Amino acid sequence: MRDRAARTARAWHVDEALAARYAAGTAPEPDAWSLEKHIEACGACAVRVSAAVRGTAAGTVLADVRGAVLGAVAPPSPRAGRVPAIGGAARVLWAAGPALRGSWLVALVLVAAGAVGLAYATGFAGARPLLLALAPVLPPAGVAVSYGRYADPMHEIGATTPGGGLRLLLTRTAAVLAVSLPLLTLAGALLPDGVPGTPAAAAWLLPGLALTLAALTLGSYIGHRPAACAVGAGWALALAVPLLRAARAGVPLPLPTEPAAMAELSAQLARFLSGAAAQGLWGTGAAVCAAVLVARRHSFDRPAPGGW
């Protein structure tokens, strides 16, 4: 069925009349969106539409803007008038964008390498519990800093294209997960079992996916940065429940680096991460969030109240 859909998409092309209507701004919105989506993969139709746009008053303005941008970012060359074709891999890398660069990626590597170094260089037994406590909220944080107007200077332009919105967000999310899941799991597997009862290195994967989907779903209402902060705060509060109970009971709290604190953290992580019941709840939560996200997909075509 997918192959048939692909053949159907290739069989349809933009004719001169549709290109002229699009250039004049009179094409119906569904036709304009279909055209924009089609020319992402069809070079011949892209040339036809470009020629139609260049023949309008807006084409002159766009040519001047394009020339100014190219002149600012690169010196002129004999091939400056040609638009290079973008292959599939290049498109994926462009769509991944900030998800594969910036402070989040550096912080992710530092967390993984720091946990391993802390365990073997100083003999700190609580390295794995600390890593497992941080790991589930790192992917939502990565998505929050790789999508939106604060992360991408061309976000408004991309969000208005057929390939923008939820599709672009999911591409960025996949890029974040593709980097963070194996890196953090490998780091956890390299850490020694310093505290008895600590969950396995891969126990955080399903909870991390569920929290990421929860952040995406909540982000459709309030924006992704506030949503990531809310999810992270909720996770931290859940882990701190035993300490809060002890504080209310007047029990002296151990320092975070003391064995008693690490044992309590490991026990709380085991409640949340270990066992079929806990993993089943995380899986159910992930499925529910995914369903709500699909139902809310059209909300990504416009800015959220809190901004993306």
Q: What is the pLDDT of residues 162-211, one digit of tens each?
A: 556 677 788 888 888 888 899 999 998 888 877 788 888 899 999 999 99
Dump pLDDT digits (tens) for 274-286.
889 999 999 999 9
Q: Is the pLDDT of residue 116 over 50?
A: yes
Side chain identity at 217, as an amino acid letter?
T
Q: Is the pLDDT of residue 31 over 60?
A: yes
Q: Is the pLDDT of residue 2 over 60?
A: no
Q: Is the pLDDT of residue 69 over 70?
A: no
Q: Is the pLDDT of residue 56 over 80?
A: no
Q: Is the pLDDT of residue 254 over 90?
A: no
Where residue 112 falls among pLDDT bands split at 50, 70, 90? confident
Q: What is the average pLDDT value for the chain, to the nearest integer? A: 76
Q: Are 199 and 271 in contact (CB under 8 A)?
A: no
Top-ranked range on mean pLDDT: pick from 148-157, 179-188, 240-249: 179-188
Query: What is residue 232's predicted lDDT score, i.e. its pLDDT?
Result: 92
Q: Which token pair is 274?
A: 């270990």
Query: What is residue 287's predicted lDDT score, i.e. its pLDDT?
Result: 95
Separation between Cα atoms, residue 198 and residue 143, nearest integer Å:
27
Share of the chain above pLDDT 70, in %: 69
Query: What is residue 292's predicted lDDT score, i.e. its pLDDT?
Result: 93
Q: Is the pLDDT of residue 83 over 50?
A: no
Q: Is the pLDDT of residue 4 over 90?
A: no
Separation between Cα atoms, residue 150 and residue 137, nearest integer Å:
20
Side chain identity at 295, as an amino acid letter?
A
Where residue 252 falls among pLDDT bands split at 50, 70, 90? low
Query: What is residue 186's predicted lDDT score, i.e. its pLDDT?
Result: 92
Query: What is residue 95's predicted lDDT score, i.e. its pLDDT?
Result: 52
Give the gyration radius of the chain's Cα atoms. Answer: 25
Q: Which token pair is 68?
A: 């100014």
**Does the model's pTM come out above 0.85?**
no
